[in-house]
Structure 1
Amino acid sequence: MLKRLIITVLVLAGVLVAADYAAAAAAESVVSRQLRERLDLADDPNVRINGFPFLTQAVAGEYGSIELTADRLKVGDLQNVQLRANLHDVQAPLSGLLGSGTPGLRVGTAEGAARVGADDINRMLPGIDRLSLGNVDANAIADLITDGADPSLRALDPESVARISGDVPVGGGRTESVVVFAELQVADGAMRVVPRVVRDSSGDELPEPVASIVRQTFALRVDPGGLPFGVVPTTLQVRDGTLEIAGEASDVVIGAAPGTVVG
């Protein structure tokens, strides 16, 4: 008898879990379509509603966290921009998700980011071969200063410094393998790469005429387009071999007509 009861409970639990995941998938599809329209995307973005069980969140119309990803977006000359967003403290009435009520989401805090990969950056820096992006830590900056670099580098946050390497033409038919340590800045919503230190592939200083060519070649300004949900970009960092510009916004309404009250 007890064994049969345990089996029954397990079966019911499995059915409830399956139903919860199915409901979450359906809701993610609805939210994805709303976000596609709001962000004017060519395809539905990937949406993940975090937290379990989903149904208790749906009944309350309150969600702790929703993640959004959209890849391979074309923005101006950029061919492969990645958008990422984390939405926190989301209010979305169940009737809106079911299509019988006012559609839309109200978001307490939205964290948004756009990533531009090395291939896109390379297209904007013609003539450079084997370009790659990497991170820098405080020890690397200290070593540069010890080797004669500008002491003002010590004031930089290591996360706002990139290590960029590549093969660059330096005149006279010559190509030099170089490493550039660049300060990453955000200016008027755009990414700026400002070379600060230039070395050859062995870490030695380059002759100033060559170093000047390299600094000019690697200086870059990239506009990745606006971040989603009115997010104001505040940081630029290297992430997973890409340049990521990110920021956040508060009290955002998504997918509802202007003036509509959501939540």
Structure 2
Amino acid sequence: MRALRILLILVVVLGGLFVAADRVAVHFAESKAADRIRTSEGLEQTPDVSINGFPFLTQVAGGSLDDVEIGIKDFEAKSDKGDAGIRIADLKAEMRGVKFDSGYSSATADRATGTARIDYAELLEAVKKQGRAQVAPGVTAWIDGLAYGGDHKVKVTVAIKTPLGTLRPSVLSTVDVSGGEVSAHADSLPAAGAFKLAEDRIRGVVDFRQALKDLPAGIELDRVQAVDQGIEITVKGSDLDLVG
């Protein structure tokens, strides 16, 4: 019995040492991965990286990780014109089936899902770049405000400058995603008092599209919806190159 107790104590001690070593190793790997992602994606801040699953060392020995979570506080997505584009807040992605080579110089993921958000103020700044348009003789219009309109709609405030003054009606718009772009389509069109607005021209102002390109690791837009804080985005991807 004494020998059995000693054996059990040794097993517990060795197990504890293994767990401690495993946790030290995973924290070191998370830090190195975060630095590598920051460099490869050109980020201003180091992202959060969490390697899930236990034991970590066994996964490393097999050359793959079951589940890796990546969080990026702010990410500058490019527009269709290739400029700085628009800032995406709180981008979070969960990578499944992450594989890496023996030299740890590259890593790929079988698939990924995640979420992100574009604040209304940030989206408004990007949309304003489309400028003003003439919607009737002597009448110009432009988007002047974006906010949550309830029921997953975006409230779009339009400034309409007429010879008699500037009006600021609002419309509710439905958001969607297609081809790497977030789009908003007005459910109805604003009016400008006695001035008759050309429908195609005013819709060309009220409706807008914003491209979001070069997202991290090649993930793509999946779905969008309007919420209180901004446009909530769902992203997904497969066969992703994480740090190559």
Q: For this structure pair, what is the TM-score category when the shorter chain's length is used for normalisation?
A: 0.5 to 0.7
Q: Residue 56 of structure 2 corresponds to which residue in structure 1?
A: 54
Structure 2, gaps ≥5 residues long: 129-142
Change in Cα spacing, 1:175 to 1:253, as seen in structure 2 (3 Å) is closer
2:173–2:184 contact (8 Å) kept in structure 1: no
Using structure 2 for the length normalisation, give the TM-score.
Answer: 0.66
State the alpha-carbon separation in 1 of the partners of residues 22 and 168 from structure 2: 59
Q: Residue 34 of structure 2 corresponds to which residue in structure 1?
A: 32
Q: Residue 96 of structure 2 corresponds to which residue in structure 1?
A: 88
Q: Residue 140 of structure 2 corresponds to which residue in structure 1?
A: none
Identity rate of aligned residues, in percent?
25
The CA deviation at 1:25 is 1.3
Q: Residue 153 of structure 2 corresponds to which residue in structure 1?
A: 163
2:162 aligned with 1:174: no
State the alpha-carbon separation in 2 of the partners of residues 21 and 135 from structure 1: 45
How many pairs are equivalent?
216
2:119 aligned with 1:128: no
1:168–1:214 contact (8 Å) kept in structure 2: no
The CA deviation at 1:66 is 0.9
Q: 1:186 aligns with which of 170, 178, 187?
A: 178
Q: What are the superposed Cα offsets for residues 66-123 of structure 1, whole Å, 9 maximum, x if unpaired?
A: 1112222334354522343321111235xx4xxxx25221321133665422111121
State the alpha-carbon separation in 1 of the partners of residues 149 and 15 from structure 2: 47
State the alpha-carbon separation in 2 of the partners of residues 165 and 233 from structure 1: 22
State the alpha-carbon separation in 2 of the partners of residues 43 and 71 from structure 1: 8
The CA deviation at 1:48 is 1.2
State the alpha-carbon separation in 1 of the partners of residues 43 and 12 from structure 2: 42
- 3-state SS of paired residue (1:73): strand
Change in Cα spacing, 1:246 to 1:105, as seen in structure 2 (3 Å) is same
State the alpha-carbon separation in 2 of the partners of residues 81 and 13 from structure 1: 43
Change in Cα spacing, 1:182 to 1:135, as seen in structure 2 (3 Å) is same
Query: Going by fraction, where is helix more abundant, 1 or 2?
Result: 1
State the alpha-carbon separation in 1 of the partners of residues 150 and 27 from structure 2: 37
State the alpha-carbon separation in 2 of the partners of residues 72 and 163 from structure 1: 24
- 3-state SS of paired residue (1:173): strand
2:175–2:225 contact (8 Å) kept in structure 1: no
Q: Residue 132 of structure 2 corresponds to which residue in structure 1?
A: none
Matches within 5 A, 1:1-263: 16-74=18-76, 75=78, 76-82=83-89, 83-92=91-100, 96=102, 101-111=103-113, 115-126=117-128, 128-129=144-145, 131-133=146-148, 136=151, 162-165=152-155, 167-171=157-161, 172-176=165-169, 178-187=170-179, 189-197=180-188, 215-238=203-226, 241-256=229-244
- 3-state SS of paired residue (2:187): strand
Change in Cα spacing, 1:239 to 1:163, as seen in structure 2 (3 Å) is closer
State the alpha-carbon separation in 1 of the partners of residues 36 and 241 from structure 2: 11
State the alpha-carbon separation in 1 of the partners of residues 26 and 44 from structure 2: 23
Query: Going by fraction, where is strand more abundant, 1 or 2?
Result: 2
The CA deviation at 1:191 is 1.8
The CA deviation at 1:163 is 0.8
State the alpha-carbon separation in 1 of the partners of residues 11 and 241 from structure 2: 41
- 3-state SS of paired residue (1:59): helix
- 3-state SS of paired residue (2:105): coil
Using structure 1 for the length normalisation, give the TM-score.
Answer: 0.62
1:181–1:195 contact (8 Å) kept in structure 2: yes
Structure 1, gaps ≥5 residues long: 137-161, 201-205, 257-263
Change in Cα spacing, 1:175 to 1:192, as seen in structure 2 (3 Å) is closer
